[in-house]
Amino acid sequence: MTVCYIGNSFKYETEAVLKLFLPIVTFDFLFEEYPQVGDFCIIKREPNNDGYTLSVTVSLDGTNESLEETRSGDFSDKDDEAALCKMLYLIMQKLKGVTPAWGLLTGIRPVKKVNELLDRGLDKAEIFSALKEKYFVSDEKLELAYSTAVTQADALAALDKRSYSLYVSIPFCPSRCSYCSFVSHSIESAGAKKLLPDYVKKLCEEIAQTSEIARELGLRLDTIYIGGGTPTALSAEQLEAVMSAVKKNFDISKIREYTVEAGRSDTITEKKLEIIRDFGATRISVNPQTMNDAVLEAIGRRHTAKDVVSAFDKARRLGFGNINMDVIAGLPTDTPESFLQTIETLCGLDPESITIHTLTVKRSSKLFSEEERRVDGRKQQFHFENENKILRQNPYTQNFGSDFVHFLRGMAVSEMVLTGQTVLLEKGYLPYYLYRQKNTVDNLENVGFAKAGYECLYNIYIMEEAQTILAVGAGGSTKLVNTGTGKIERLFNYKFPYEYISRYDKMISKKDRIAEFFAGI
């Protein structure tokens, strides 16, 4: 589809709206030019005798729809952009016959909008009314976002304004899962093995230097999160070196939470769990993603569901009383029935929290490159084996092409997510943090569920952007938060370990900005 902007350049938000309805379509963009042929969308802001006119015209599969609004007075670019997005949404809703559950809301932090309205003193009914009117959000998603806001309220209220969290990045895994788009490297590759000793050494240096910065600024460490990648992909000695550096350089006696993503069961050993426990971690994740062995094989995992249970039992035996488990809805070859079985199996293990992610397929993942193909001359995605089988077996559905495939997939994944969330609520788990990502199947969400009192503080604070996060390691993203003004600034470490090592001194010099940021607070 060709998207044309006349008298404006509101590309970012309008493209996000189009992707709600056309998630597998590639867009071409024109500015101050009109399309020649094919499907198109024209987004206009042009002057008239009374002020100016906003209009949207869409031509899709030979059908045209338009909406326009005449304006006069003092409207900002943001106001005009919002009005054009709303017109585009209504047109696409009519043309596609689809109503996204999250409506026009395209941001990754929907709970933040609920919290803003709660801070203004609005009650539940008023919040629902305001978000329905502005964003067309469904009752189901409003209830989810509101419940999440209520669950996390105490954690946000208890936040010390001079506190911060520490994130330690271990961007290595035993192997790369097919759906993964993170900067993560297989620990078995020759390059990774060569880099690891120097990476751990530089990481320990950065931990020490970051602690000095925080100490000089009088900041108080609140939570620690060691993530990845898979931190337990490190050897026991390397993991001990990292956790020893944290303990040596930070006062962890008063922190409220210390999480280590133990991650994949094929990396979890009794020795590593003992190190994690003995160096002060209070919370771990054992992440199966699925308890279906066929699905594990399809995504490139080298362990079985039985291995997950074994790792979980080992952690319990060693005294871990706060364990999270992650699952992903929409993995290749998975079905609503087997996904439900995964949720029920995990509930049987009785972890303190379970997080349901929705599959996100990005161009940097192996899954995208394997599954993309050309349809109507353009690259498309989400052509998974089971869906193609449906198309091959049913002559009627063959006529619907890639849009129908994506529709079928969305229906199945929506069922997985809804069923999983319903079961967890019935088992006493409550939603405590929620976020969304681009390219997520059926525009769905990721939600952490926890038993009361076991909500992950780090997850709440990073998602609600309520606390400064000082990040160390390759790919780490430091987020500086002024809780008084709401100002947020980010500092990025180099993504790749070889860059992180070779350009370490230059990267560290950028951390002077942390002191500058806090100087006026």
pTM for the full predicted model:
0.88
3-state secondary structure of 40: strand
pLDDT at 99 over 80: yes
Are 305 and 449 in the same domain?
A: yes
pLDDT at 452 over 50: yes
Are 88 and 237 in the same domain?
A: no
DSSP 140-200: HHHHHHHHHHHHHHHHHHT--TTEEEEEEEE-EESS--TT--SS-EETTSHHHHHHHHHHH
Are 375 and 439 in the same domain?
A: yes
* The two three-digit tokens of residue 186, written as one number: 């297989």
Percent of the residues in the chain that have a pLDDT greater than 70, as a whole number? 87
Q: Quick: pLDDT tens for 386-428.
A: 444 433 343 333 333 445 445 556 678 899 999 999 999 999 9
- The DSSP letter of residue 359 is P
Quote the CA–CA distance of 189 and 239 in Å, as a whole number: 19
Are 236 and 261 in the same domain?
A: yes
- The DSSP letter of residue 449 is E
Are 256 and 345 in the same domain?
A: no
The CA distances from residue 142 to 10, 45, 71, 133, 503, in Å, are 27, 32, 31, 12, 45
Are 474 and 498 in the same domain?
A: yes
pLDDT at site 400: 39
Are 506 and 448 in the same domain?
A: no
pLDDT at site 376: 36
pLDDT at 374 over 80: no
CATH code: domain of residue 51:
3.90.950.20
The CA distances from residue 195 to 172, 245, 418, in Å, are 11, 19, 43
Amino acid sitting at position 71 = R
- Closest to 171 in 3D by CA, of 125, 220, 234: 234
Cis amide linkage into residue 319, ω under 30° from 0: no
pLDDT at site 192: 75
Q: Quick: pLDDT tens for 472-496.
A: 999 999 999 998 888 999 999 999 9
- Closest to 255 in 3D by CA, of 226, 216, 275, 231: 226
- For residue 329, what are the domain limits? 291-321+323-453
Calculate mean pLDDT across residues 323-335.
93
pLDDT at site 184: 53
Confidence of residue 93 (pLDDT cuts 50, 70, 90): very high
Is residue 197 a part of any domain in this protein? Answer: yes
* The two three-digit tokens of residue 263, written as one number: 């991650």
| Per-chain mean pLDDT for the chain | 88
Number of Cβ atoms within 10 Å of the Cβ of 430? 19
CATH code: domain of residue 410:
3.30.750.200
Quote the CA–CA distance of 270 and 280 in Å, as a whole number: 16
Percent of the residues in the chain that have a pLDDT greater than 90, as a whole number? 74
Quote the CA–CA distance of 102 and 79 in Å, as a whole number: 20
Are 174 and 184 in the same domain?
A: yes
Are 513 and 402 in the same domain?
A: no
Are 485 and 441 in the same domain?
A: no
Beta bridge partners of 361: none
Are 274 and 298 in the same domain?
A: no
- Return the top range by mean pLDDT from 68-77, 319-328, 384-393: 319-328
The secondary element (H helix, E strand) that includes residue 207 is helix 190-217
Is residue 295 a part of any domain in this protein? Answer: yes
Confidence of residue 437 (pLDDT cuts 50, 70, 90): confident
Contact 290/331 with Cβ under 8 angstroms? Answer: yes
> 179-191 in b/e burial notation, b at 16+ Cβ within 10 A?
bbbbbbbebeeee
Is residue 102 a part of any domain in this protein? Answer: no
Decide which of 403, 419, 453 is a domain's last residue: 453
Amino acid sitting at position 93 = Q
pLDDT at 81 over 80: yes
Calculate mean pLDDT across residues 261-277.
94
Is residue 58 a part of any domain in this protein? Answer: yes
Q: How are beta strands 430-435 and 446-450 bridged, if at all? A: antiparallel
Which residues make Cβ contacts (< 8 Å) with residue 97, sequence separation at least 6?
none
When divided into structural domains, the chain yields a total of 4
3-state secondary structure of 22: coil
Is residue 274 a part of any domain in this protein? Answer: yes
Are 230 and 269 in the same domain?
A: yes
pLDDT at 176 over 90: no
* The two three-digit tokens of residue 284, written as one number: 């771990």
Q: Quick: pLDDT tens for 108-163.
A: 899 999 999 999 999 999 999 999 999 999 999 999 999 999 999 999 999 998 99
Is residue 104 a part of any domain in this protein? Answer: no
The secondary element (H helix, E strand) that includes residue 226 is strand 220-228
Residue that has been written with the tokens 């996060």 in this structure: 469
Is residue 501 a part of any domain in this protein? Answer: yes
Quote the CA–CA distance of 377 and 198 in Å, as a whole number: 46
DSSP 76-118: -HHHHHHHHHHHHHHHHHHHHT---TTTT--SS-HHHHHHHHH
Calculate mean pLDDT across residues 95-110.
91
Is residue 105 a part of any domain in this protein? Answer: no
Decide which of 393, 420, 453 is a domain's last residue: 453
Decide which of 403, 427, 453 is a domain's last residue: 453
